[in-house]
Structure 1
């Protein structure tokens, strides 16, 4: 701790694993700032991290167990769970049950759940939503290195002379790492290459942006491997002494045509030459590589190039996978994936199974891998899985084929959900819902993308009857008859056992070994500082593979021969567009946490489809129209149109955050097919084929309210605002009674103030609370033109003209939010630019925009360049 009232913890969002300092403020409040002593972020936080204090509290929380929708006591609920699982196993065998867990669980939660399923129930049927984000990296690293080992550290970004970002919008998805790279670029002139079909905010710092055809990463890196061989840029001694399979990989690469990427010869030549001549090179890859039916081959194509040049495990050199979840690494360490044992041990290895079986005193340790995520829900749908436990995740929204997944959950005989909330799309389908603690209340450890283990510490009391996930799993295990093996009273006990098992794995020659912590006291566990594994008697932290020692049977790294798949075959005349999916800058997963912070919804408040101008013109779509997107499996979404040349023709983009709670028809999961990588089982989330048409709206609406509102329309999207709630609306059916519609929307009685503009067919309605604005609805035949943030700010304010759509004289409208960290609007930025000119640094300094995490600076620069007709911004 750095102060008497501050608690050192870790952010619950992406895999960067930023340290935070928490100060409870009474009545459930929490002040949050970056921890300057944490090695991942050194005090920096992104917009989401800064807003963490606004996402805690009891609002909407599940405060007691529910059975069949009715409140129940813990004993009754857990007795039921234990009995139904035991009866199902007795009648149908251990493979008739499954757990689906989450990269947002702590390591201790993961460990207990995995031990229960694999060691005592005796099935491999436990998988995690990390399967959706980094399973291809796991598979690729195991093929090449013999283990799922991240070779380098974040420091390599600051020691490299070249950083290649592949399928990684670092500026939005890992903003703190982006800032570290920006600083390194300024300090040492680091060159940056971005490989991405879409022009993202990260391209603002790119010396070269390679807009490859979607899905053609293997062709690109096979071409690079061949070029490295042709120009003599290989580390021949490293290849000869420490690797195997090079000739086969090179032969397969020679059959690839880099032109399949759609890049020009000069672009390819520039990239190949830059990589070949730059020894200190790091390749950062993320979901654009992993989320593919050829994701594992993409990973190995990248690894092949680093192995061929010996650029691995040394300062400023190596392949680097950045994970999307806060504890995806911890899940991998504990065996949270269906095809792994704890401590990076292998289910297929009899010696490994024997070690784990003896250590756990497991009565029936599984001998085979279990069902992966997609297959778990298929099995639930067809009756093979008869009891399913889902913890800390929302697969009815986030899984590919989400409609089929929801139907499978509904069809399963017995479903348990552990969550903070009972109103998620998934929890509503469960027989039993158990209240779990969340970030700020949980106590345990997480591991970030560069193998750094950090503590998450409780700063707030658990609300109601909420309990930690590890304790819930352990309590059910005891009720199922395994009391001695699950006799945990605190997370430190679980952690010690986890660390002790890792020591046995280390003795078998595995990479994951934190046995130095096996005897950690409760007090030292409470005070544990961030530390990078391995942590053993012989080794602490550092990089892997710089010495040429790998974890394969031969001790050599394996080149993997890969070839480019035919992604053009996925499209058809009926579904001619390839949909790319991803994240928004200020939102997280399915928004169960980030949607609680109003400021995080101000930047992009609606689900949207980013589409190329050429595609939009052919489809008759104008900016701010609504588009209906449909997939071959029947999935449909209605999204706001954002016309932009940042995406390629034929390759639109949509974020995946919206759920049935936040929008009427914006779930992207139903559009994603269940096609998976044959090695990793990871779904093809970046390559859904879709059709697009204009949504024939008869009217559009914008609503604001002090109280929650209940939209009724084919299209709606609602978010919290600083003054209550706001929503966008549209429908194909005309409304004849707008007063009645507005009363139902807002849950209000009485007569609203109404203003009608017959010439424009526009209607405005406002409800008063005394002399103050309580709610307002703006209706137009096309997209509603109002100063939205200004209107939102009028809620609760007095005034005669309650229906003003824009500020009048003497009022300032900051405009749509650009910088969520500092809450700076578009108009404020443009006003500063009008005074200062195209001076990005000056505008940022004057307004505060872009001065924290910096992920909005590309947007600020673009605004200045488009609206200030002077020399380009710096």
Structure 2
């Protein structure tokens, strides 16, 4: 008899999270069923084992449902050779007919550095086109431009450890509690352990603002005025570091004079920012009396027509006070995407060359010689918004999109989708079989590797390079993006220059270029990594750049003793422009601000697969202040149409306290794939910063009107959905063991139409109450819940939150009867939306803990585990505690 010992489980793979720029380390263990269990890597210096809700749910996003697994040309499945031949033929014909200005490639901060490098090398060095841009243009390019104006280079001076050693953290236009939650928990830990104060500057009262020691609800667009006023206040109180300014900067007097014109004192600053003077004084006093200050900023600063000036107004303050490059102090740009930084390192923006070089004659020649490039681009290309405008005009005729969804995410997204349909040659490298961009007319579709299948590197917000390793086999005919680029390059006659056999060879070339003729004159230098063999590359541990040959590998800050990357080694303080008031548009009296929510990412092609992440906020929504909602006759939980000059969307209304300032907020995540009318990108105007080219996604003129539907409801099924009646509003949501659809309509949904997968032997239990406009049906197959359809005049939140987790289960007869009669569970099971996505804790469980005596967030966490991982749900838990405390007092 043969006795086989059980196969030992393989060790988990150390990789990196594919979401925000924090760059958290992840340990992934394949589950032998196509998925994986995921945990934080305790040895990774970015997160020390913590993961946010999105990172914790990565294992739920790995299914092959909806994946693009084979190359397609004109809707037909083809072999890779045929697809690559077609890609090369289209670009060759366009180049021969129209020249290099007629071709472009649009990339993504989701790509790995090696993918980015290959794309830039081919287009800028061998095809002669600098029309190479990225969706990072939409989130970080104003920071890049501000850095380059001030420092001479795109350098982030500090490190994450500064957030733990600072005495004052100022977050400007950053909802870090939701968008960078693991990093935000490090900030909160510093406050708890050493008393670090946290101040938030933001027009919107976000979850981060809720936690602040001081919250400045500035008027939108007034950041330049606030930091100009701060510079004046620091100068008038003797807090300028004269020695540092004299030895290491230019432009201080001019910058201060301009600041005095913009905001000469605290009172003028308060008026410009729409703030009480006492709050401005408190903010100024904190900066005056605290040496260790870190100012963190993100999209609220960058996504503006004055984004670069906002960045430089912040940098001016730190340069003038010498608070830069030393422990616990400095400006810090919080990167939005996992590899926005890596893309910048290899020239992923149209105004950059690789290795942080620009389009000056010397740099162009240097890169040309290193690459042996036969057709080197010698001038900047078109930035994202201008690129797609050129497509619309017919000036760009051939486009390759890799790893992004511009028909949903770019400003004026409907116009972008129409423009894509005009292209002669349109190639998309994509994970998913259907996206808004693919349906806009992609003729060639290449199946790209997804997270878990990819192999390469990414760079996070503190300049730390980490490996993203494959732990799943590539399904179907999926291939890496760098490989596809190299194969097309070979077909265009450049095989020798793109003869990489492994991703490590691409990385070594990228590292070697960073050190090429670089005697300390460029900030980005990882020459020490250019000699890694394949095994060393595979074992590469997280490392911060610079990593120059012959130097010790250690944490590094920049600029404490000057040494800026300008021709004379001095930083530039910039005389920023006076902010201009937005033009008055009586028919569009509101300003629409767009952004992210806690548990979703970009256009949801990955996070939208996770039932856990869809349980917190399942529908596209509009946030509006209570006074504005009253004025517009909008009610919480109702619907509103938001209209701009470019499009409209119908969104679920979420009324928040305050308001009256004519501002709106809507999330960016829903697309034509996941909602009937929730594409917020279609509403955003195409205005952008004239220096950075970054679009203004925070202040599109808009109007808002109520929308009424006769009925609301939801459908759940383990199968597929059929159509709803014409004019219905709907949003798709992932649910455990099936699919969910929330809807509102005026007509009557037909059970067999909405749920087309019913079988003859299914048991259907239903209740119809025409007088109350209610219909409820549950479909059982072999005794388990297969599908259900609930319709009524009110929003059936209780039934939705209970039943979404019951598909595939056998429900007791009493429970079914109660659901059909009352629309809720009979056993008192706690439900409601998920508050803590990390541990799957719904609102009802937390309410039960509070009712049971939990007096603060720590006690709620001890009782339920809610808030004990990434902490992004803590503001919501504290709100629930405050409501519970206030309720008895009002009784």
Same fold (TM over 0.5): yes
Q: Does 1:450 align with 2:462?
A: yes
- Which residue does the alignment assign to 1:604? 617
Q: Is the 8 A contact 1:136 1:296 kept in 2?
A: yes
Of residues 742, 753, 763 in structure 2, which corresponds to 1:743?
753
Of residues 415, 423, 447 in structure 1, which corresponds to 2:426?
415
- Which residue does the alignment assign to 2:671? 659
Of residues 580, 586, 597 in structure 2, which corresponds to 1:584?
597
- Equivalent positions of 1:40-189 (< 5 A) are 40-189=46-195
- Equivalent positions of 1:765-780 (< 5 A) are 765-780=777-792
- Which residue does the alignment assign to 2:852? 835
Counterpart-to-counterpart distance in 2, 1:600 and 1:40 = 23
Q: Does 1:845 align with 2:858?
A: no
Note the alpha carbon deviations across 1:596-619, whole angstroms, 9 max, x for none.
Answer: 111000011111111101111111
| CA drift at 1:724 | 1.1
| CA drift at 1:648 | 6.3
Superposition RMSD on alpha carbons, in Å? 1.7
Of residues 224, 232, 241 in structure 1, which corresponds to 2:238?
232
| CA drift at 1:814 | 2.7
Counterpart-to-counterpart distance in 1, 2:786 and 2:676 = 24
- Which residue does the alignment assign to 2:729? 715
Residues 648, 316 of structure 1: alpha-carbon distance in 2 compared, 3 angstrom cutoff = farther
Note the alpha carbon deviations across 1:551-607, whole angstroms, 9 max, x for none.
Answer: 1112110011113322431x4111111111111101100000001111000011111
Q: Does 1:280 align with 2:324?
A: no
Q: Is the 8 A contact 2:526 2:547 kept in 1?
A: yes
Q: Does 1:628 align with 2:634?
A: no
Of residues 351, 365, 375 in structure 2, which corresponds to 1:354?
365
Residues 623, 711 of structure 1: alpha-carbon distance in 2 compared, 3 angstrom cutoff = farther
Q: Is the 8 A contact 2:712 2:795 kept in 1?
A: yes
Residues 433, 557 of structure 1: alpha-carbon distance in 2 compared, 3 angstrom cutoff = same
Deviation larger for 772-781 or 431-440: 772-781
Counterpart-to-counterpart distance in 1, 2:489 and 2:432 = 23
- Which residue does the alignment assign to 1:551? 565
Residues 363, 211 of structure 1: alpha-carbon distance in 2 compared, 3 angstrom cutoff = same
Residues 595, 667 of structure 1: alpha-carbon distance in 2 compared, 3 angstrom cutoff = same
| CA drift at 1:130 | 0.2
- Which residue does the alignment assign to 1:400? 411
Of residues 194, 197, 204 in structure 1, which corresponds to 2:200?
194
Of residues 588, 596, 608 in structure 2, which corresponds to 1:595?
608
| CA drift at 1:539 | 5.9
Residues 160, 596 of structure 1: alpha-carbon distance in 2 compared, 3 angstrom cutoff = same
Q: Is the 8 A contact 1:647 1:653 kept in 2?
A: no
Q: Does 1:493 align with 2:510?
A: no
Give the match's secondary structure for 1:748. Answer: coil
- Which residue does the alignment assign to 2:530? 518
Note the alpha carbon deviations across 1:820-854, whole angstroms, 9 max, x for none.
Answer: 00111111111111121432211111011001111
Q: Does 1:205 align with 2:211?
A: yes
Q: Does 1:639 align with 2:656?
A: no
Counterpart-to-counterpart distance in 1, 2:790 and 2:252 = 65
- Which residue does the alignment assign to 2:742? 728
Counterpart-to-counterpart distance in 2, 1:344 and 1:747 = 55
- Equivalent positions of 1:323-338 (< 5 A) are 323-338=335-350
- Which residue does the alignment assign to 2:688? 676
Q: Which runs of 5+ in 1 are unaligned?
A: none
| CA drift at 1:745 | 4.5
Q: Is the 8 A contact 1:791 1:806 kept in 2?
A: no
- Which residue does the alignment assign to 1:481? 493
Residues 411, 528 of structure 1: alpha-carbon distance in 2 compared, 3 angstrom cutoff = same
Q: Is the 8 A contact 1:200 1:646 kept in 2?
A: no
- Which residue does the alignment assign to 1:391? 402
Note the alpha carbon deviations across 1:415-446, whole angstroms, 9 max, x for none.
Answer: 00001112011122200000000111111100
Q: Does 1:250 align with 2:256?
A: yes
Note the alpha carbon deviations across 1:268-315, whole angstroms, 9 max, x for none.
Answer: 100011011111000000000001111001000000000010000000
- Which residue does the alignment assign to 1:860? 877
Deviation larger for 23-32 or 73-82: 23-32
| CA drift at 1:408 | 0.7
Counterpart-to-counterpart distance in 2, 1:56 and 1:177 = 25
Q: Is the 8 A contact 2:293 2:329 kept in 1?
A: yes
Of residues 801, 808, 811 in structure 2, which corresponds to 1:789?
801
Of residues 827, 850, 873 in structure 2, which corresponds to 1:810?
827
Residues 710, 132 of structure 1: alpha-carbon distance in 2 compared, 3 angstrom cutoff = farther
Deviation larger for 499-508 or 105-114: 499-508
| CA drift at 1:506 | 2.7
Of residues 266, 276, 280 in structure 2, which corresponds to 1:264?
276
| CA drift at 1:15 | 0.2
Q: Is the 8 A contact 1:293 1:678 kept in 2?
A: yes
Residues paired across the two proteins, number: 864
Q: Is the 8 A contact 1:705 1:746 kept in 2?
A: no
- Which residue does the alignment assign to 2:383? 372
- Which residue does the alignment assign to 2:266? none
- Which residue does the alignment assign to 2:4? none
Give the match's secondary structure for 1:77. Answer: helix
Counterpart-to-counterpart distance in 1, 2:878 and 2:233 = 36
- Which residue does the alignment assign to 1:754? 766
Give the match's secondary structure for 1:406. Answer: helix
| CA drift at 1:787 | 3.1
Counterpart-to-counterpart distance in 2, 1:33 and 1:643 = 36
Counterpart-to-counterpart distance in 2, 1:291 and 1:851 = 32
Note the alpha carbon deviations across 1:791-811, whole angstroms, 9 max, x for none.
Answer: 223333344436435554434
- Which residue does the alignment assign to 1:822? 839
Give the match's secondary structure for 1:344. Answer: coil
Residues 646, 313 of structure 1: alpha-carbon distance in 2 compared, 3 angstrom cutoff = farther
Give the match's secondary structure for 1:716. Answer: strand
Give the match's secondary structure for 1:528. Answer: coil
Deviation larger for 832-841 or 656-665: 832-841
Deviation larger for 594-603 or 770-779: 770-779
Counterpart-to-counterpart distance in 1, 2:43 and 2:783 = 51
| CA drift at 1:777 | 1.7
Give the match's secondary structure for 2:497. Answer: helix
Give the match's secondary structure for 2:65. Answer: coil
- Equivalent positions of 1:16-55 (< 5 A) are 16-55=22-61
| CA drift at 1:761 | 2.2
Q: Which runs of 5+ in 2 are unaligned?
A: 1-8, 264-268
| CA drift at 1:547 | 1.1
| CA drift at 1:323 | 0.6
Residues 132, 422 of structure 1: alpha-carbon distance in 2 compared, 3 angstrom cutoff = same
Q: Is the 8 A contact 1:834 1:868 kept in 2?
A: no
| CA drift at 1:687 | 1.1
Deviation larger for 525-534 or 701-710: 701-710
Counterpart-to-counterpart distance in 1, 2:704 and 2:887 = 38
Counterpart-to-counterpart distance in 2, 1:57 and 1:795 = 18
Q: Is the 8 A contact 2:850 2:860 kept in 1?
A: yes
Counterpart-to-counterpart distance in 1, 2:133 and 2:115 = 13
Deviation larger for 200-209 or 187-196: 200-209
